[in-house]
Each structure stands twice: as structure tokens, then as C-alpha cells.
């Protein structure tokens, strides 16, 4: 299909469901879903996720069964299907799933299945098991009870590993009890868009006005309690911008390792990741925001370069410590 034909068909999709809001997908020739070339940070996220799957999969991509939970406009599901994996993308909003279906049709992806469904109904009985589960940017859009159930179902459906991207609460403000353990985080309001084509609507939770965002420690502990045996954080490939409340985790569904050199540990439960104290968390939160909004902008200004030349070294060192 030539570029002109793709653009003509894309215009029909945009008229019916609005423009693409997040996923810039190369459709062939000079045709992209948003702009020609790089659009933003999602392409860097794609590189990270695709590399993780390629590096950690025990078999070639062509032999993997993958599910992309909350696939939005389909970028990650489409990429892995183009690489040869058998992929299921599940998305709750019609506008998003129709855009993903358009890209699947243009690219003739027979190994990609797309379905519109509420992730709160996801279960292994409904969809089966998967070698790789992608859970990208969705966990902080659930209310607490739905979140706990959803992560449990993710663990049940996962045979290999799950790739999880999520915002986390930088302060343990509120507590929720589940399965005898206390989990900490923050209740947040879901954004309210103007209409069904507004990005605020298309990226928000599905019908719930508020959600519960776990802290980093509580998210890791929830993955442990749900049945994952190890949880790792990915830093490379790097994303275009690193935010203090955003992380990429890989949760592996293995078997508890039997230790021959320390057999006494078989009688000991795995130690949960400790929460930071609220006071320390607040200090680190403020420091992170200062670094992000003040320090990085300051050192890239011409005034900083002038002051650096004029100020004594002791003053410069003290200023850096305060801002960091």
C-alpha cells in the first residue's frame, strides 16, 4: 500500500475516532500515525521494552505468546507482532482500539489480535497464559481493590516474565490492606477530558474517578506477594527523560531457588522491601522535584554560566549541594 492510500485511509479513522494521541507508528513509506520521524518519548519506551523482551525471552520471538494489557493505540503490541511474536492487545476504549486495528490492517499483521475489554475482567480463564505480559502505564489507573486483583491475575497468566512501567507515589500517604499486608501509596484523581477524543479521556482510568498509586516498595511487594519470584528495575536502554516517579520493572515468574549453601533460609519467608518513613520520603520528593524543575533548568541557562565564572568555588559547591 502506497503512502497516499495509507494517508487517505488514516484520514477516515481520524474523522471517526480523532487523531492519534500517543503512539507514532511507521506504516510504510513516509506514512506515520502522527508525524514523520520521532514524535516523543514513547519511541524510546518502545526501544526499552522491545530490548527487554528480546534479551530475556528463553526462545526466539517467533515462539512467544505475548499480551499487551491496556495497549492504547497499539505501538508495543504491533512492534512485537512485526518481530514475529503472537500478540494479543487488550484496550478498553473504542477510539484507541480502532486506531490499533487500522495499523494492524495496513501492516497485514496476522499474528496480532486486538480486543476491546475492561482490564478489570482480565483473567487466565478468560484469555489463557502468556510467555510475556506487558503492563505499561496502567497500574496507576486502578482503584486499590481492582489493582490488587488485577496484579494477581497478571501473575497467574504469566508463564515467563512481565514488563511493568508505572508511575509510583513518592510518599507513603495512605495505606490499604490486602491479603494481610499493608500497602502504601496515594489516592489520585483521574483526569476528566472534554470528550471521547480528548487525550485526558483516552489515557484515563475506565470509569473510576479516583485511583490508587502504590509506592515503589509497595509495588515490588505486591508483585512478590502475587507470585513473582524476582523483580528487577531497568535503566538501559535509557528513555528520553527520566522522572523520579516513573520506573520500568521486570517481574519474573520462576520457582523459588533451593539454596544448598544456606539451607536454613528455606524456613524463612522472603523479606518484603521496607517502606521509607514519611518524613524521609517527603524530603526526597522535594529534592527530586527541585532537581527536575530548578537545577536542570538553572545549569542550562546563560545566567548560570556567567555566575559560574564570577562566583568563588566554595559558593558554587554549596549551591550545587542545596539544589541537588
Give the number of other CB atoms < 10 A from CB of residue 102: 24
The pLDDT assigned to 236 comes to 93
Cell 510475556 locates to 132
Per-chain mean pLDDT for the chain: 87
CA angle 250, 256, 260 (to 5 degrees): 125
Q: What are phi and psi of 69, to 5 degrees?
A: -90, 115
Least confident of 3-12, 77-86, 235-244, 253-262: 235-244
Does the pLDDT at position 319 exceed 60?
yes
The pLDDT assigned to 47 comes to 96
Nearest Cα to 158, choosing from 130, 123, 122? 130
pLDDT tens string 199-224: 777 888 888 899 999 999 999 999 99
The pLDDT assigned to 306 comes to 61
The pLDDT assigned to 174 comes to 93
Cell 480463564 locates to 125
Distance, in Å, from the CA atom of 210 to the CA atom of 156, rounded to the nearest integer, reads 26
* Structural domains in the chain plus CATH codes: 3-257+265-272 (3.40.50.150), 279-323 (no CATH)
Q: What is the mean pLDDT of residues 57-79?
A: 96
Q: What is the mean pLDDT of residues 128-147?
A: 96
CB 186 within 8 A of CB 218: no
| pTM, two decimal places | 0.83
Range 50-55 contact pairs with CB under 8 angstroms and sequence separation of 24 or more = 50/76, 50/79, 50/80, 50/83, 51/237, 52/163, 52/234, 52/248, 52/250, 53/80, 53/85, 53/132, 53/163, 54/83
Does the pLDDT at position 149 exceed 70?
yes
Confidence at 40, pLDDT banded by 50, 70, 90: confident
Percent of the chain with pLDDT over 70: 84
Q: What is the mean pLDDT of residues 29-51?
A: 91
Does the pLDDT at position 115 exceed 70?
yes
Does the pLDDT at position 143 exceed 90?
yes
Confidence at 268, pLDDT banded by 50, 70, 90: confident
The pLDDT assigned to 243 comes to 78
Q: What is the mean pLDDT of residues 170-186?
A: 93
Amino acid at each position: 500500500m502506497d503512502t497516499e492510500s495509507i494517508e487517505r485511509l488514516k484520514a477516515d479513522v481520524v474523522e471517526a475516532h480523532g487523531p492519534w494521541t500517543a503512539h507514532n507508528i511507521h506504516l510504510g513509506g513516509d506514512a506515520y500515525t502522527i508525524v514523520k520521524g520521532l514524535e516523543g518519548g514513547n519511541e524510546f519506551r518502545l526501544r526499552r521494552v522491545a530490548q527487554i523482551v528480546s534479551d530475556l525471552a528463553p526462545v526466539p520471538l517467533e515462539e512467544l505468546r505475548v499480551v499487551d494489557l491496556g495497549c492504547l493505540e497499539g505501538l508495543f503490541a504491533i512492534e512485537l507482532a512485526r518481530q514475529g511474536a503472537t500478540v494479543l492487545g487488550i484496550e478498553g476504549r473504542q477510539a484507541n482500539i480502532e486506531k490499533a486495528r487500522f495499523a494492524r490492517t495496513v501492516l497485514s499483521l496476522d499474528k496480532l489480535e486486538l480486543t476491546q475489554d475492561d482490564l478489570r475482567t482480565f483473567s487466565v480463564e478468560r484469555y489463557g497464559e502468556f510467555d510475556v505480559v506487558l503492563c505499561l502505564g496502567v497500574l496507576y489507573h486502578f482503584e486499590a481493590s481492582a489493582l490488587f486483583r488485577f496484579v494477581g491475575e497478571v501473575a497467574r497468566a504469566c508463564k515467563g516474565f512481565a514488563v511493568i512501567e508505572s508511575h509510583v507515589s513518592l510518599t507513603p500517604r495512605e495505606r490499604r490492606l490486602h491479603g494481610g499486608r499493608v500497602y502504601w501509596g496515594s489516592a489520585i484523581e483521574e483526569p476528566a477530558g472534554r470528550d471521547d477524543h480528548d487525550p485526558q479521556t483516552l489515557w484515563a482510568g475506565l470509569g473510576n474517578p479516583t485511583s490508587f498509586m502504590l509506592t515503589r516498595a509497595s509495588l515490588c511487594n505486591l508483585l512478590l506477594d502475587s507470585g513473582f519470584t524476582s523483580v528487577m528495575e531497568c535503566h538501559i536502554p535509557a528513555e528520553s527523560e527520566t522522572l523520579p516517579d516513573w520506573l520500568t520493572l521486570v517481574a519474573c515468574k520462576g520457582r523459588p531457588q533451593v539454596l544448598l549453601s544456606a539451607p536454613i533460609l528455606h524456613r524463612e519467608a522472603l523479606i518484603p522491601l521496607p517502606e521509607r518513613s514519611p518524613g524521609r520520603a517527603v524530603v526526597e520528593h522535594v529534592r527530586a522535584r527541585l532537581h527536575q524543575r530548578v537545577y536542570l533548568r538553572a545549569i542550562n541557562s546563560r545566567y548560570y554560566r556567567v555566575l559560574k565564572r564570577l562566583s568563588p568555588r566554595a559558593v558554587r559547591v554549596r549551591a550545587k549541594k542545596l539544589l541537588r
